[in-house]
Amino acid sequence: MKSTNQGTRIGIAIVVILGAIIYLAVSGVQANKSYYVTIQELQGMGNKAYTRHLRVAGNVQPGSIQHKGSDADFVLVENTRTLRVSYKGDEPPPDTFKDNSQALAIGTFGRDGVFHATQLQAKCASKYAPPPPGQAPAATPASTASVVPPR
């Protein structure tokens, strides 16, 4: 009888442990899931916008960046739509975060109409853009290897 009782206890312990692992895995995935939306989609989501973790991209409106230590307030623009963003993260905004740069804000939309970002990614729009028409591309450094003429 002792072995049957001990086997039941071990079985229950295994079920409890597996249940805890599955619960932690599912809740962790749900907490880290974020939806990518455009500014237009965000503004049309209604009450769903306030309960979800979101990613919103756009161009930084020139002159809108206001730094407060490592935090920043700015405006994202997409076509004719704008979105006020308040960034409060663990790190300061990246160096490429400037006027007219493309930015991705990750966070939540508040009932105050401001997107509260906890993460911010930016890339420099001009660094990878082709040169304006009529302008030659930037010169690349010449090779330092010596050229040996054929014999």
Pair (53, 22) in one structural domain: no
Pair (21, 47) in one structural domain: no
Closest by CA position to 106, among listed 47, 34, 43: 34
Number of domains in the chain: 2
| Residue 21: inside a domain | yes
Parallel/antiparallel/unpaired status of strands 114-123 and 54-60? unpaired
Claim: this prediction has a pTM higher than 0.85? no
Pair (9, 60) in one structural domain: no
Pair (3, 60) in one structural domain: no
Per-residue pLDDT 10s for the chain (151 aa) are 566 788 888 889 899 998 888 888 777 665 555 677 888 888 888 887 787 888 898 888 999 889 888 888 999 998 888 999 999 988 888 888 888 888 888 998 888 889 999 988 887 655 555 556 666 555 544 444 445 555 5
Question: Who's near 124: CB < 8 A, 6+ residues apart?
Answer: 96, 98, 101
Q: What is the largest CA-CA distance in the chain?
A: 95
| Residue 68: inside a domain | yes
Pair (50, 114) in one structural domain: yes
CATH for 89: 2.40.50.140
Residue range(s) defining the domain that contains residue 19: 1-33
Pair (25, 67) in one structural domain: no
Pair (93, 40) in one structural domain: yes
Pair (12, 53) in one structural domain: no
Pair (77, 67) in one structural domain: yes
| Residue 148: inside a domain | no
Pair (56, 8) in one structural domain: no
Closest by CA position to 60, among listed 112, 126, 113, 108: 126
Pair (10, 69) in one structural domain: no
| Residue 132: inside a domain | no
